[in-house]
Structure 1
Amino acid sequence: MKNPSETPDPIKPQGYVQPLGKIGQYDLLKKIAEGGMGSIYMARSTKDKSVVAIKVMSPLYVHNPVLLKRFEQEYKVASKFNHPNLVRALEFGTDNELPFLVLEFVNGESLGAIINKQGKFEELEGIKIIAQVAKALNQVHKDKLIHRDVKPDNILVGKNGVAKLTDLGLVKEILVGDLNLTRSGRGLGTPNFMAPEQFRDAKNADIRCDIYSLGATLYTMLTGELPYKSVNPLETWMKKVQNDLPTPRELNPRISERTDWAIRRAMDSDPDIRPSSCREFVEDLVGKSTRKSTVTTPALDKTEAKQPIETIWFMSYIDDQGKQHVVKGTAKAIRRSFKDGILEDPLKYKLAKSVEGPFEEMKVFPEFRDLAVHLTKPNSTPNSKTQSADPVPNPTSEPAKT
């Protein structure tokens, strides 16, 4: 990246902005966002004076082959589309070994920034934005692709009200995989907005993961609350598989029953319950669903306590940084976490029926004894820090209320 000349321009047209620097054929006018992989600038072409957005990779990652491939993949995917609700990719290049991606400039803000400033949306306004994003995702899905990171920060809303989906760096092809950028067993995306099955293995994600994330985005828009607020991804996943989340109407009674149901259906832990397409999700929202009795479908009614109440267990463990955590869940959810490969070695975890303890090894409890026997790794020994965590002193994560 080159520094601009120190010599002032004697002729500065109206609206002139002194460039911050230059990359390729573009003058960088101002930084508009900063993320984990780099920064995004508003820029101007020195050739045709057009205004664009440029994503510049941080020098810290220019020698990381996986991130470089993902950066280039975003261009290859986004440049395929010419859709009014998808941010277009215009160019990919390098300047002094610094990769950059030239994108369509959207004169507006991210949906996440808008929510942070104004709080929750009115229902109709929120649905209009989500319907636009659904059109973009439908196009992505028709091309046998999955976005995998739909969230408010990846949706730009222009001053003209047009919503555009961006950040296609995690997109994967449904049929041929994702160029080995995702190792089996590793989830990609943002935990609060990810479908629970995406935690286990991002490679096995299908379009219903995007539908889940779209529903979670609308949940945030209409309630002003982040779904599944938790201290760590494990606690988030545990809540997700149990559908342990306040309904939209519990947080915002002004939301209609129809929209409340549509969001809960899209965010169900069972992918088979979710809509089969983004179009179907929008039909649920606007009352065109072909499903019978959309508000009182038994499989979706989380508010009725007709099923027997399951025992809640508390699980204590020490993370890789040496921090102690306590998460809670039913026996079914805890067993699923091991069977799905979210957790591996049972000896690293202790259980109790109270957050105060006493915490004991899983093999002590009949409900989990088979897991402790069959899943324990050879030569594995209990985590000494976990053993000493009985009773639990000041757990990092407070148990969520039910």
Structure 2
Amino acid sequence: MPPKPPSPPAAKSGSREASAPKTPSLPRQMGPYTLLERIGSGGMGSVYRATHNAASPAVAIKVMSESTRVNPVLLRRFEQEFRAASRLDHPNMVKALDYGEVEGVPYLVMELVEGKNLAEYVEEKGRLPELEAIRLVSQVAQGLHRAHKLGLVHRDVKPENILISTEGQAKLTDLGLVKEAETDLNLTRTGRGLGTPHFMAPEQFKNAKLADSRCDIYSLGATLYAAVTGQIPFGGISPLEAWMKKVQDEYPTPRSLVPEISERTDWAIRRAMASDPELRPATCREFVEDLTGRTTRKSFSAPENDKDSWYLRYLDDHGTEVAVKGSRAAVRRSLRDGLLGDASNVQASRSRQGAFLHLRDLPEFRDLIVVVPTPQTPTARPKEETIFSAKSVVDGNRSTASLNTIPLPPEGLHPQPSGATKEDTKFNLLRQLSRSTGHKALPSWVSFIIAGLLLVGVAILYLLLR
């Protein structure tokens, strides 16, 4: 039996969906709530603006339609939406306040968010500025991260389910398709996909029952794609065609549509939308780190007096451990130039005594390490967008000389001097080296010419000595 309505809830003022005209047959009362106007409708029923009494703030009430409440599976999904939403208490998730039933008609009382959903917001304003889109999606990611920690998978993240308040706060709503890891309600038939094809992860098409948090991360990346480009991903095609393109990573990159989008945001979106779930961020927090390039872990914050220094440990070409210190920019430059050897062997820390992590685990450098699929589009990505993997750092365009033979270290990095004390064997805090270009590998065509000339010279010498 649904719980009895509690004392009048303190609901935040707001609007659930796009405005809809008033309905003459509008029911005036649902339990203790007075319905004022219909503000939207969907597959499950209609949403109304309502009040508990004249003194209480307005709330949103979702009422199941007659055609859906006779379906036992849909009825249980409606109940599940309340149960899941009531477990979540996060500023970026729409709150569920109450659940009841009047004469066999179930209703769900929710926080009312005054504003528009993200789809309407983009339609009205056009594609959003990159930083604004990242801000909104990052807020949703925080709420979704809380849901995932509670074992909830949303399975229908899309612009229409993200409400933007008049204060500019983003809130995720509509948990009607939520999956609870700890329960088995069997509300999804095996082999059936649930969600919205344009924003669904490809594996969710086959079996929504197996959807996990990385499906939500895919949808979040696709939502950001739509916000920064103003275009629906995989739009204008059938669900089957969309699935085929998704599994092949076949879509225009964000930067191919909007060249002003930063390389980092383009990379972060493509990583989140990778067809292989293992290539996506493991958590929503990691996705936000990918977007911002900054760690969210307080335990890995920089010292107050040295906020831009990084301490690195890596193996040179002879297997000898090398320790250097440098700024974030210097480390990134050295990685791009392939001057730190195999990037999979490089570890970094914010302090001399701090915990050292592999670069893949650090958002400040992850975009240079993790390779994501390059979507198959006619438009080639600019050369400067190349993403460096551990293999490309080793085999790419870098000096073949041993690091021990390089007279100066990678630009901006400071090595341990030979006369250092035992205390300083790991790090050099004293030397400040001038800028150096280091050794650069010769272009391949120059190497071929030199090799050819050497062969010709050897042949001539052989003929002269005969």
The two structures have a TM-score, normalised by structure 2, of 0.59
Alignment partner of 2:134 out of 122, 127, 141: 127
Give the match for residue 195 of structure 2: 189
State the Cα distance separating 1:295 from its structure 2 match. Answer: 5.7
Structure 1 residue ranges (4+ consecutive) displaced by more than 6 angstroms after TM superposition: none
With over 3 angstroms needed to count, the CA separation of the structure-2 counterparts of 1:62 and 1:286, relative to structure 1, is same
TM-superposed CA distance for 1:259, in Å, is 0.1
Residues 311-330 of structure 1 mapped to structure 2, 5 A cutoff: none
**SS across alignment from 2:279:** coil
Superposition pairs of residues 126-275 of structure 1, within 5 angstroms: 126-177=133-184, 179-275=185-281
Distance in 2 (alpha carbons) for counterparts of 1:95 and 1:269: 45
Query: Could you say which residue in structure 2 is the equivalent of 1:27?
Result: 34
Structure 2 residue aligned with 1:51, among 54, 58, 80? 58
Q: Which amino acid aligns with 1:78?
A: A
More displaced 10-residue stretch of structure 1: 41-50 or 259-268: 41-50
What secondary structure, in the 3-state scheme, does the structure 2 residue paired with 1:222 have?
helix
Displacement of 1:60: 1.4
- Matching residue's letter, 2:72: P
Per-residue CA deviation, residues 191-220 of structure 1 (Å, 9 max, x unaligned), is 100000000111111100000000000000
Residue matched to 2:436: none
Question: Structure 2: how far apart are the matches of 1:252 and 1:246?
Answer: 10
The whole-number CA distance in structure 2 between the counterparts of 1:140 and 1:36 is 23
Aligned equivalent of 1:62: 69
Q: Is the 8 A contact 1:25 1:47 kept in 2?
A: no
The answer as to 2:109 corresponding to 1:36 is no
- Mapped to 1, the partners of 2:263 and 2:369 lie a distance apart of 10
The amino acid of 1:71's aligned partner reads F
Q: Which residue of 2 aligns with 1:97?
A: 104
Do 1:135 and 1:278's aligned partners in 2 also have CA atoms closer than 8 Å? yes
1:72 matched to which residue of 2?
Answer: 79
Return closer, same or farther for 1:85/1:299 CA change in 2, 3 Å cut-off. Answer: closer
Per-residue Cα deviation, 1:75-99 (whole angstroms, up to 9, x for no partner): 0110112111111111111122211
Is 2:367 the partner of 1:294? yes
CA RMSD across the alignment: 2.1
Kept in 1, the 8 Å contact 2:194–2:205? The answer is: yes
Query: For 2:366 and 2:86, how far apart are their aligned partners in 1?
Result: 42
Deviation at 1:232, TM superposition (A): 1.8
**Larger CA Rg, structure 1 vs 2:** 2
Check conservation: 1:18, 1:29, Cα contact below 8 A: no
The separation in 2 between residues aligned to 1:99 and 1:282, in whole angstroms, is 37
What do the CA deviations read for 1:246-278 (whole angstroms, capped 9, x no partner)?
Answer: 000111111101000000000010001000000
Letter in 2 for 1:300: P
Deviations 1:325-345 (A, max 9, x none): xxxxxxxxxxxxxxxxxxxxx
Q: Determine the C-alpha separation between the residues in 2 that align with 1:99 and 1:224.
A: 37
Choose 289-298 or 164-173, whichever is displaced more. Answer: 289-298
Residue 247 of structure 1 aligns with an amino acid whose one-letter code is: T
On the 8 A contact 2:45/2:64 being kept in 1, the answer is yes
Secondary structure at the aligned position of 2:367 is classed as coil
Q: 2:118 aligns with which of 111, 116, 119?
A: 111
C-alpha change, 1:247 and 1:304, in structure 2 (3 Å) is closer
Cα distance in 2 between the residues matched to 1:230 and 1:106: 30
Identity %: 56
1:106 CA drift (Å): 0.7
User: Which amino acid is 1:143 matched to?
Assistant: L
User: Tell me, which stretches of 5 or more residues in structure 2 are unaligned?
Assistant: 1-21, 296-361, 379-466
Structure 1 residues 269 and 98: CA distance shift in structure 2, 3 A: same
Q: What is the CA deviation profile of residues 44-87 of structure 1, one whole-angstrom value per residue up to 9, with x for unaligned ones?
A: 11375321001111111121100000001000110112111111
User: What amino acid sits opposite 1:278 in the alignment?
Assistant: C
- The aligned length equals 288
Q: Distance in 2 between matches of 1:250 and 1:58?
A: 44
Report the alpha carbon displacement of residue 300 of structure 1 after superposing the two structures with TM: 2.8
Distance in 2 between residues matched to 1:228 and 1:301, nearest whole Å: 16
* Paired residue secondary structure (2:87): coil
Report the CA distance shift for 1:48/1:256 in structure 2 as closer, same or farther (over 3 A): same
Within 2, Cα distance between the matches of 1:270 and 1:200? 14
Tell me how far apart the structure 1 counterparts of residues 261 and 243 of structure 2 sit (CA, whole Å). 26
1:129-154 CA distance string (max 9 Å, x none): 01110110110010011111000111
TM-score (normalised: structure 1): 0.68
CA–CA distance in structure 2, aligned partners of residues 170 and 60 of structure 1: 18
Shift of 1:298: 4.3
Measure the CA separation in 2 of the matches of 1:61 and 1:203. 21
Distance of 1:118 and 1:183 partners within structure 2: 39
